[in-house]
Amino acid sequence: MTGVQKTGQAPEETGRTPGTSSATPAKSVESAKQGARRSYTLIAGCVLAGLIVLLAAVSFVWLPYAPDDTSGTRLAAPGAGHLLGTDKLGRDLFTQLMTGSRIAVEAGLGSVLTAALIGVSLGVLSAFALGWLDDTLAAFLDILIAFPTLLLAMLIVAARSATLGSAVLAIGLAQSAVVARLVRILVKRVLAQDYITAARTSGTSWPRVVAGHVLPNIWPTLVVNLALQFGLAVLAEASLSYLGLGAPPPNASWGRMLQEAQATFTTAPAGALAPGVLLVLLVIGVNLIADGLRDTLDPTARRRRA
Amino acid sequence: MTLLDIRDLTIRTADGRVLVDRLSLTVSPGERLGLIGESGSGKSLTTLAVLGLLPEGMTATGSVELAGTQIVEASEKQLNGVRGRDAAIVFQEPLTALDPLMRVGRQLAEPLRRRRGLRGTELKRAVTQALEQVRLPEPGRIARAFPHQISGGQRQRAALALALACEPKLLIADEPTTALDVSVQAEMLDLVDTLVREREMAVLFVSHDLAVVARITDRAVVMKDGRAVERGDVREIVRHPRQEYTKALVGSARRLESALDVRSAR
Amino acid sequence: MTRYLLRRLAFLVVSLVLASVVLFLLLRMLPGDPANALTSVGASPEQIAAARHSIGSDKPLPEQFTHWIGQLASGDLGTSFVSSLPVGPEVLARLNVTVPLTLAAFVLAVVIAVPAGFAAAYKRHTWYGALLSGISQLGIAVPVFWLGMILIAVFALNAGWLPAGGFPPDGWAQPAEAVRSLILPVVTIALVMSASLIRYVRSATLDVLDSDYLRTARALGSSFSGAMWRHGLRNASVPVISVLGMELASTLLGAVVVESVYALPGLGSFLATGISQHDYPVIQGVLFVSTLAVLVIGFAADLVQRIIDPRLRDRLSGGAR
């Protein structure tokens, strides 16, 4: 727990009771209405996350100050020269926020890509594997998942050096167990369908079955889960940075900015609030995108919401 | 005096869409009425409205009078008194209609205890009796079983026993055979038929299957898009459907011929 | 049931052994030499070799492993490379902070999340149902350390009601002080945990509210609260319990950040120090105890679910899944 919630798997995806899906008109009407409302969720999420991504993109071409410019007055209050004031070394806070957004987005993307690559391969492998191998892998994944992402990440980061790359690799590896378990369940569910048996008996090869039937069937749920993992990865990176295990200075990670501003919370609150607010906005945005995607991509889950 | 009197019943969703449109029908004590329509015609909602159990967000207007109680405006407390006593319902899916975590006997005991005030061995005997009434073999074993441990047909019989437990004046059966194996369907229909006749109960039988309805009821109302489009004697409807829609329903009734044979043989 | 218990227990033991092997190998595969932590930067090769010898890291891996497992079997978690103190008593001392912290936070989170999650589902069409869902959305996006910082700023630095961090040096010998220093950390963890729990409780409640069996009960004249009490509670608790188990396990292990925010001498901060110093016995010891806790909690959650849900009992496989 502690900020790094592991499963990320939406509760809505579990335990659907059969038989309740017999669509009475009431339900189809309600779901159509919710579908419309949910796309607002998607839009809201895109706006929030888009704002941060935009900030990150702009930071590549323009920054108010150089990231290592310590010429400002230390701990200046927000004002004319410095939009949000300065930190205890006199660096411009807004500049740091902008470079921090870059790190947050990079951390999220990198971790999710790592988790997707490893998790999907492992999950598909496990689903196709012989009984005992599958069982062993599943049990192994279960144990791995029981450990917080952050702990696994700390182990890996400590062994390597504290860089953004290590953090991304570590978070991605830890998350790949979650993705692998989800993929394994989803693939097994698809493989149990009659049309797979039909495809197999008609002589379609396994790789073709995976590409033609399995992946198209699992990707909606997978994409939604990866979106949730993105938010969790951003939070995990911030936590690692807060503990001093993330990107080293002068890279301004939001987590490290918060750690540095903790001591001066009451005297210079802007530095201790602004990075947190952006962090929350990004994570909420991504979570809203995940919710919105679930409702547009996965019609069975739609009914649950609202 | 009528037992169930529905007048201009209109059911709307929260955003104002009309799902049942000015429906009127009556059921007298001991009478059997069929409610026919394809899925989405509003027939199931109508049955829920009779018990005041519409899904959240839906509202009913008009009048639904059940054994002298105005359901549409009744308070929860009044409704709790009416439900199960004046009318009880058997739902389509017996697996989900029973609590998966509770033994069949305990589920059956609950309304018996509440309505008839039975306790202890008396209650136990009443449970066994209720299971015997629906021709369940080994009632003792079934009472101790959880729903997933007995067959689909047995579950539906248990659900029927549950509905009959408080000896309602009106039995509402919402597609009670649709989820069952074809081989078990006929038995179930016969059972409903017999039990209802024994108790001189009124029946509101809902189905998309004209043949099934024809087997149980005398009169029928055909619903389409929330409206009653045709009504009258079931056999008359089957022989001379006036609406295109009803004709289509008649055409799609799979076991229509055999069903009519059974009926005329009675 | 007996057969299930035996199988489940066997699974627990096998998992524990497997986990210790993996743990051991993983640590040894990682780059970085623990001897470096013992010696100064400019140490001579002889000094490093001596350091290696003193901690036994020059021995072949199988020997190191059997040595460690042998120690474990006799209840000894080994000796820290760095402090030369036994790990076991230190872990126990740390548990004195971490276990009360975790359990209190867990209980508080459940107390918050169950009613809130139920209300979020039951009143989903009203403004405060939506508000509750919104708050939980917000809650899962808030990093736990930032929430901790804010709570410290508000309740410790500004209001001065509670200490900003630390734990009395003689621990529970000063019960009032100890409790006071745990209040903010407990609240911090509980708030973040309840945010995600609310979502699970809400979803489980929605499943129950939509269920046919609830409708059946109500169609027979059972009142809403009566039907919820008899049928809803148990049915909703099955999915929630497995989540609760996971949350409890990961809080126990994942209190690192909160312990760091509040400068608490808990298991998490012990592990963090161990990791940064390449102190294998400490890392191994803490993770072994944690793994045991994770497995036992998982076992307990499984057991409770089986007691509630007869469908799980009737499933043939008594193993993990």
Query: Read out DSSP for chain A?
Result: -TT--S----GGGS-PPTTTTS--HHHHHHHHHHHHHHHHHHHHHHHHHHHHHHHHHHHHH--SS-TT---SPTTPPSSSSSTT-B-TTS-BHHHHHHHHHHHHHHHHHHHHHHHHHHHHHHHHHHHHS-HHHHHHHHHHHHHHHHS-HHHHHHHHHHHS-SSHHHHHHHHHHHHHHHHHHHHHHHHHHHHTSHHHHHHHHTT--HHHHIIIIIHHHHHHHHHHHHHHHHHHHHHHHHHHHHTT-SSPTTS--HHHHHHHHGGGTTT-HHHHHHHHHHHHHHHHHHHHHHHHHHHHH-HHHHTT--
Q: What is the pLDDT of residue A29?
A: 41
- Enumerate the residues of chain B whose CB falls inside 8 A of the CB of residue A30: 13, 57
- Find how far residue A201's CA is from the centre of its chain: 39
Strand B170-174 versus strand B202-207 pairing type: parallel
Q: Which chain A residue shows the shortest CA-CA distance from C124?
A: A306
CB–CB of B53 and C212 under 8 A?
A: no
- Whether the link from the prior residue into A64 is cis, omega within 30° of 0, is no
Q: Which residue of B has its CA nearest to A20?
A: B96
Which candidate from B81, B84, B98 shows the least CB-CB separation from C213? B98
CB B174 within 8 A of CB C212: no
ipTM of the complex: 0.84
Report CB contact under 8 Å: C235, B100: yes
Q: Which two tokens stand for residue B152?
A: 């689909």
- The residue type of A104 is A
Size of interface A-C (CB pairs under 8 A): 173
Per the CB < 8 Å rule, is A25 touching B45? yes
CB B19 within 8 A of CB B40: no
Of the residues B18, B59, B91, B93, the best mutation for testing chain A's interface (the one with the most A CB atoms within 10 Å of its CB) is: B93
| A17 contacts in chain B (CB < 8 Å) | 96
Q: State the smallest CA–CA distance between residue B49 and chain A in angstroms.
A: 13
C124: nearest CA partner in chain B: B56
User: Using CA atoms, how far apart are residues B92 and B83, in angstroms rounded to an integer?
Assistant: 18
Task: Kindly state whether C244 is in contact with chain A, defined as any CB-CB distance less than 8 angstroms.
Answer: no
Distance CA A254, CA A244 (A): 12
Distance CA C182, CA C198 (A): 23
pLDDT value of residue A299: 58
In chain C, the residue whose alpha carbon lies closest to the alpha carbon of A266 is C153
Instruction: Give exposure, C235-274, as e/b (b: 16+ Cβ within 10 Å).
Output: bbbbbbbbbbbbbbbbbbbbbbbbbbbbebbbbbbbbbbb
Q: Give the one of A20, A23, A28 whose C-beta lies nearest to B96's C-beta.
A: A20
Q: DSSP letter for C25, please.
A: H
Closest Cα to residue A268, out of C155, C185, C147, C153? C153
Vertex A135 angle, CA A132 and A140, to 5°: 125
Domain B1-67+206-266 fold is Rossmann fold (3.40.50)
Could you tell me how many CB contacts below 8 A there are between chain A and chain B?
A: 38
Instruction: List the end-to-end C-alpha distance of chain C, in Å, as a whole number.
Output: 16
Q: What's the token pair of residue A212?
A: 């033609």
**pLDDT computed for residue B214 by the predictor:** 84
Tell me which H or E stretch contains B229: strand B227-233
Residue B237 DSSP SS3: helix
Phi-psi region of C105 (alpha: psi -120 to 50; beta: other; left: phi over 0): alpha
Give the closest of A22, A26, A30 to B45, CB-based: A26
Per residue in B156-182, pLDDT (tens digit) is 889 999 998 888 999 998 888 887 877
Q: What is the pLDDT of residue B146?
A: 92
Give the mean pLDDT of chain B.
Answer: 85
Contact of A148 with chain C, judged by CB distance below 8 Å, is answered with: yes
Confidence of residue B235 (pLDDT cuts 50, 70, 90): confident
Measured in whole angstroms, how far is the alpha carbon of residue B146 from the centre of its chain? 23
C18 contact residues in A (CB cutoff 8 A): 140, 143
Which residues 141-200 in chain C show a CB within 8 A of chain A?
141-146, 149-150, 152-153, 157-158, 189, 192-193, 196, 199-200
Position A53 scores a pLDDT of 93
A22 close to B (CB below 8 A) = yes
Q: Looking at residue B258, what is its pLDDT?
A: 53
Alpha-carbon span C41 to C30, nearest angstrom: 20
Map out the domains of chain A with their CATH numbers.
36-60+83-305 (1.10.3720.10)
Any B CB within 8 A of A280 CB: no
**Could you tell me the mean pLDDT of each successive run of 10 residues in chain A, 306 residues long?**
40 36 37 56 91 90 78 72 74 87 93 95 86 80 77 76 84 91 88 77 78 83 92 92 82 88 84 92 93 76 44
Distance, in Å, from the CA atom of B224 to the CA atom of B38, rounded to the nearest integer, reads: 7
The answer to whether C146 contacts A20, with C-beta atoms less than 8 Å apart, is no
Phi/psi-derived region of residue C78, left when phi > 0, alpha when psi is between -120 and 50, beta in every other case: left
Instruction: Give the whole-angstrom CA distance, residue A282 versus residue C169.
Output: 40
Please count the other Cβ atoms lying within 10 Å of the Cβ belonging to residue B31. 18
Which residues from A are below 8 Å from B92, CB to CB? 19, 22
- Most confidently modeled of A25-39, B211-225, B245-259? B211-225
For the record, the structure tokens of B259 come out as 């069903």
Residues of B in Cβ contact (< 8 Å) with C230:
99, 102, 110
Q: Which residue of A has its CA nearest to B92?
A: A19
Residue B26 phi, psi (nearest 5): -135, 150
Question: Per residue in B12-22, pLDDT tens?
Answer: 988 888 999 99
Edge-to-edge strand order for the sheet containing B18-27? B18-27, B4-12, B59-66, B69-70
Give the closest-approach CA distance of C171 to chain B in angstroms.
46
Q: Residue B233, Cα to own-chain centre: how many angstroms?
A: 19
| C130 to chain B, closest Cα gap in Å | 15
Chains that touch B (3 or more CB pairs under 8 A): A, C
CB A47 within 8 A of CB A232: no
For chain C, 321 residues long, give each residue's pLDDT as a single digit of tens.
788 888 888 888 888 888 788 778 877 766 666 666 566 666 677 777 777 777 777 778 888 888 888 888 787 888 888 888 898 899 999 999 999 999 999 999 999 999 999 999 988 888 888 899 889 989 999 999 999 999 999 998 888 888 888 888 887 888 888 999 999 999 999 999 999 899 999 999 999 998 889 999 998 888 889 899 999 999 999 989 988 988 888 788 778 889 989 999 998 888 888 887 878 888 888 888 888 888 888 888 888 988 898 888 877 544 333
For residue B37, list chain A residues with Cβ-Cβ distance below 8 A: none
| Domain extents in chain B | 1-67+206-266
Q: Give me the residue label for tokens 């790094």.
A: A4
pLDDT of residue A27: 38
- Quick one: pLDDT at residue C16? 83
A32 and B CB contact within 8 Å: no
Interface of C with B in 37-96 (CB under 8 A): none
Tokens of A177: 């167990």
**DSSP state, residue C86:** B
The nearest CA of chain B is from the CA of A154 a distance in Å of 42
In angstroms, what separates the C-alpha of B45 from chain C's closest C-alpha? 13
Closest CA to C144 of A115, A279, A102: A279
B33 reaches A (C-beta below 8 A): no
Residue of A nearest to C125 (CA): A306
Which of B17, B45, B156 to mutate to probe the A interface, most A CBs <10 Å?
B17
The C-alpha of A24 sits at a distance from chain B's nearest C-alpha, in angstroms, of: 5
DSSP symbols for B72-118 = TT--HHHHHHHBTTTEEEE-S-HHHHS-TTS-HHHHHHHHHHHHH--
Tell me the mean pLDDT in the region B206-220: 86
**Cα separations (Å) of B56 from B8, B199, C210?**
21, 34, 10
Question: Looking at the complex, does the CB of residue A99 fall below 8 Å from at least one CB of chain C?
Answer: no
Distance between C133 CA and the closest CA of chain B, angstroms: 18
Pairwise CB contact (< 8 Å): B80 & C223: yes
How far CA C115 is from CA of A84, A179, A227, C201, C308, in Å, comes to 40, 31, 29, 9, 21
A10 contacts in chain C (CB < 8 Å): 199
Least Cα separation, residue A204 to chain C (angstroms) = 31
Q: Rounded distance, CA B20 to CA A24, Å?
A: 12
User: Chain C, 4-43: which have a CB under 8 Å from a chain A CB?
Assistant: 11, 15, 18-19, 26, 30-32
Residues of A in contact with C121 (CB under 8 A): none
Q: State how far the Cα of A298 lies from the Cα of A221, in Å rounded to an integer.
A: 7
Yes or no, beta carbons of C211 and B96 under 8 Å apart: yes
What was the pLDDT predicted at C41? 60
- Summarize pLDDT for B33-77 with one digit per residue, the tens: 999 888 878 888 999 999 998 888 888 999 999 988 899 888 888
Q: Which of A1, A33, A178 to mutate to test the interface with C (most CBs of C within 10 A)?
A: A1
Q: Report the C-alpha gap between A5 and C243 in whole angstroms.
A: 11
Interior angle at CA B90, CA B86 and CA B96, nearest 5? 135
- Cβ of C212 under 8 Å from any chain A Cβ? yes
The DSSP code for C164 is S
Give the whole-angstrom CA distance, residue A180 versus residue A115.
Answer: 8
Q: Measured between alpha carbons, how far is A193 from A205 in angstroms, rounded to an integer?
A: 16
Dist. CA C149–CA C142, nearest whole Å: 12
Distance CA A282, CA A253 (A): 14
pLDDT of the residue at C311: 86
In this complex, the residue of B51, B57, B81 whose CB is nearest that of residue C125 is B57
CB contact under 8 A, A22 and B92: yes
Question: What's the pLDDT score for residue A116?
Answer: 95
The residue assigned the tokens 């902008």 is: A98
Neighbouring C-alpha atoms within 13 Å toward the C-beta of A212: 10
pLDDT (tens digit, 9 = 90+) per residue, C226-284? 899 999 999 999 989 988 988 888 788 778 889 989 999 998 888 888 887 878 888 88
Spatial separation of the C-alpha atoms in residues C98 and C307, rounded to whole Å:
29
Give C75→chain A minimum CA distance, Å. Answer: 23
Task: Give chain C positions within 8 Å (CB) of A280.
Answer: 138, 141-143, 146
| pLDDT per position as a tens digit, B132-161 | 888 888 888 999 999 999 988 899 889 999
- Residues written for chain B: 266
pLDDT at residue A13 in the model? 38
Q: Touching check for B40 and chain A: CB below 8 Å?
A: yes
Distance CA B182, CA C206 (A): 33
